[in-house]
Structure 1
Amino acid sequence: MSTNIRWGVIGSGGIARRRTIPEGILKANNAELSVVFDINAQVNAEVAKDFDAEQAASIEALLDTDVEAVYIATPAHLHGDQLRACARAGKHVLCEKPLGMTVAETQEMINVCKKMGIKLGCAFMMRFVAQHAEALRLIREGKLGIPTYARAQLSCWYPPIEGAWRQDPATGGGGALIDMGGHCIDLLEMFFGKVARLSCFINNTVHDYKSEDSAAALLFFENGALGTVDTFFCIPDNSSKNALELYGSKGSILAKGTIGQAPAGEMAALLEKDGKDYDAQQARHVRNSTIRKITRKAGFSNGARPEGQGTIIAPEPVNTYQAEIQEFSQAIIDDREPLIGGELGLRNQKVLAACYESARSGKVIEVG
């Protein structure tokens, strides 16, 4: 096996052109871009020229090359057929989320890959955000105590655009909830474990396209913690700070701007020492708290902290697109399962399906 995995891209415009090719495939230390395809021939020609890649005239032509892995970044309703074609051709697949349009289709896609011996990855690149990785370490080490509540927010301004596939459930599977809320749900399950049951509301609050522009979900985790996800296509970009809040019996980890495409944002941990007694005055220590900035890779000091002290979590930034391409490429080289595989994509699909069912029925839904 080569130390550099040869990549093809199906859907070379959009996120592939903006992020995954220049920041991911070209920067990864174990990958190289070989061939690209897009239904828009002009865009595909531009991408091929810009990134010095071969231009394929069809998916079949791309799969007839010697690429070892394919990144699928097309509208969601095309993922199933394109993934099956890649599997039949013996190509490993990293697919944008959602993997399929339904839970059943996603399961069938996973089954096909297993049958053909193909590795399948789901592009939840926000798991690679350096602050998120550090927060997960703190939680696993028990620094947060018993998980109690989590919130993830991801919103933007997305006005009606003719032909926009995310604005029609027939091509995108839904709107703000499945497109951005999927990332939020995945992150919260990474931190707190599986969601057991939930309730959800969706609406077209501002925009009148077929997909929802507004969604809010209340989650009940298997460990007893509660959570909320709020995601909107109708809030101006600069007005939404894309908050991440993680609370436990020993404190909180609070962030803004870490949920997104770029390695940005800020995060702080506000953690109590063990055995803290009840405070009748419920003092917050907001104005007088001490904030320390920890920038080393480990990200958090093990030393004693004065009561009420906060610690800024600022590990060395990681480009999430480079990280996801390197990890998936290394899984192929090592012949192991990817860290973010098809099963995580299926799990996310099940939670999203429960959200939409709750929104339709007005009931609390158990997650299968």
Structure 2
Amino acid sequence: MTRFGILGFGLHAVRRLMPGFARAHNCQVSALSRRDMAKARASAAEYKIPLAFDSASDLCRSPEVDAVLVTTPNACHLQDVLLAIDAGKPVLCEKPMGMNAAECRQMVEAGGKAGVLLGVAQVFRFEDSTARLRARVANGEIGRPIFARSEFSYPGRNHARAWLTSAALSGGGPVADVGVHCIDALKYILDDEVVRVSARGFSDQDSREVEAAAVLSLEFSHGTLGMVAVSTRAEYRTPLEIVGETGVLRADDGLNVERPISLQLRRGGNVVESELVSNQYAYARQVDMFADAVEGKAQFPVSGEAGWQNQEILDAAYHSMKSGRTEDVIQVAASKSR
């Protein structure tokens, strides 16, 4: 049984991580940290977590912690991951992995030098919906993929994570926050890498220093053209669609973890097959599979190199927003995790 310590126990831990751990089979939470010790103790008491810390270093060095889950604001990821690596603790870092690709490279190199396991929490790789779409594309059910589309919108005004509108803390708006999910999901479903990207976005008074919405055009190495649309100004929606030469695979709210999802196969404009799946175990699978990797039972599907590669795509997208040009994506060696 792998014991996790959660660095930065906040809204994400409450809404997503703790319900995931409740369903997990091979791991549990033994410690958490928050900046305020009184709040840390209150959260620990509420969720029956044995240890509370206000120091990331102390949590990482606790003998009661086998692995560290970094869920702090994006600007803190580098420091917190390096603390865990320095303590010799396997570390699972929330997406986006860093503020830029240089930070990700530093994390990967530190983990490699120390021989410490480093993974990235791209949770949608652990969903039934993305797994089934990947399998059906690989089986040739729609022929060669021509287009791939993923969208992720949510109402972001007055969000509890107020730091999301600070470029110094978040590194970007919805492109960094949820666009990375869309990009990674399409890469996983297509089993392919993004080689070029162009992006356009806009900001408003409420989004302050970061974009409020953006559209990314992706070019994959095998020729598929992808589109990612993200926003903090629209209602929640996460549609996925893969258009092939002989059919279309589609899922409305395909990344949703809260309710069943209908995967549709369409031909000639008609639904010819429908499959109902649930993503309710995605967060549990993610931590269980990292625990298996910690215990040497399996390889974790999303390596540090994979997170670094996703960050290269984000960096290229933000460069494109500024330059107005299509940008090449730097390819990270050994970035493919499956």
TM-score w.r.t. the length of structure 1 is: 0.85
Structure showing greater radius of gyration is 1
State the SS of the aligned residue for 2:295.
helix
State the SS of the aligned residue for 1:138.
helix
Match of 2:29 in 1: 33
User: Does structure 1 residue 104 correspond to structure 2 residue 66?
Assistant: no
Point out where structure 1 has 5 or more consecutive residues left out of the alignment: 272-283, 287-308
Following the alignment from structure 1 to structure 2, what is the Cα–Cα distance between the partners of residues 151 and 133?
16
Label 1:142 to 1:333 Cα distance change in 2 as closer, same or farther (>3 A): same
Superposition pairs of residues 1-368 of structure 1, within 5 angstroms? 4-21=1-18, 23-53=19-49, 54-66=51-63, 67-160=65-158, 164-192=162-190, 193-205=192-204, 207-237=206-236, 241-262=237-258, 264-270=260-266, 284=268, 286=270, 310-315=272-277, 317-334=279-296, 336-368=298-330
Following the alignment from structure 1 to structure 2, what is the Cα–Cα distance between the partners of residues 285 and 225?
21
Answer with 47-56 or 319-328: which moved more.
47-56
> 1:144-186, CA deviations, whole angstroms, 9 ceiling, x for partnerless residues?
2111001100001111569811111110010011101110011
State the SS of the aligned residue for 1:311.
strand
The one-letter amino acid paired with 1:27 is R
State the SS of the aligned residue for 1:26.
helix
> In the alignment, is the contact (CA less than 8 A) between 2:23 and 2:281 conserved in 1?
no
The one-letter amino acid paired with 2:324 is G
Following the alignment from structure 2 to structure 1, what is the Cα–Cα distance between the partners of residues 161 and 314?
24
**Among the aligned pairs, what percent are the same residue?**
28
TM-aligned CA deviation for residue 131 of structure 1: 1.6
Label 1:361 to 1:132 Cα distance change in 2 as closer, same or farther (>3 A): same
Label 1:147 to 1:204 Cα distance change in 2 as closer, same or farther (>3 A): same
User: What is the root-mean-square deviation of aligned Cα atoms in Å?
Assistant: 1.8
Following the alignment from structure 2 to structure 1, what is the Cα–Cα distance between the partners of residues 313 and 8?
26
Match of 1:304 in 2: none
Following the alignment from structure 1 to structure 2, what is the Cα–Cα distance between the partners of residues 180 and 69?
25
The one-letter amino acid paired with 2:215 is A
State the SS of the aligned residue for 1:314.
strand
> 1:246-294, CA deviations, whole angstroms, 9 ceiling, x for partnerless residues?
01112111011122343543221125xxxxxxxxxxxx454xxxxxxxx
Following the alignment from structure 2 to structure 1, what is the Cα–Cα distance between the partners of residues 78 and 269?
52
Following the alignment from structure 2 to structure 1, what is the Cα–Cα distance between the partners of residues 82 and 159?
30
> In the alignment, is the contact (CA less than 8 A) between 2:289 and 2:298 conserved in 1?
no
> In the alignment, is the contact (CA less than 8 A) between 1:63 and 1:89 conserved in 2?
yes
**Paired residue total:** 327
Following the alignment from structure 2 to structure 1, what is the Cα–Cα distance between the partners of residues 60 and 158?
35
TM-aligned CA deviation for residue 205 of structure 1: 4.7
Following the alignment from structure 1 to structure 2, what is the Cα–Cα distance between the partners of residues 112 and 359?
31
Point out where structure 2 has 5 or more consecutive residues left out of the alignment: 331-338
TM-aligned CA deviation for residue 353 of structure 1: 0.6
Label 1:92 to 1:362 Cα distance change in 2 as closer, same or farther (>3 A): same
> In the alignment, is the contact (CA less than 8 A) between 2:252 and 2:261 conserved in 1?
yes
Following the alignment from structure 1 to structure 2, what is the Cα–Cα distance between the partners of residues 269 and 161?
36
> In the alignment, is the contact (CA less than 8 A) between 1:128 and 1:318 conserved in 2?
no
The one-letter amino acid paired with 1:236 is E
Following the alignment from structure 1 to structure 2, what is the Cα–Cα distance between the partners of residues 162 and 254?
31
The one-letter amino acid paired with 1:337 is Q
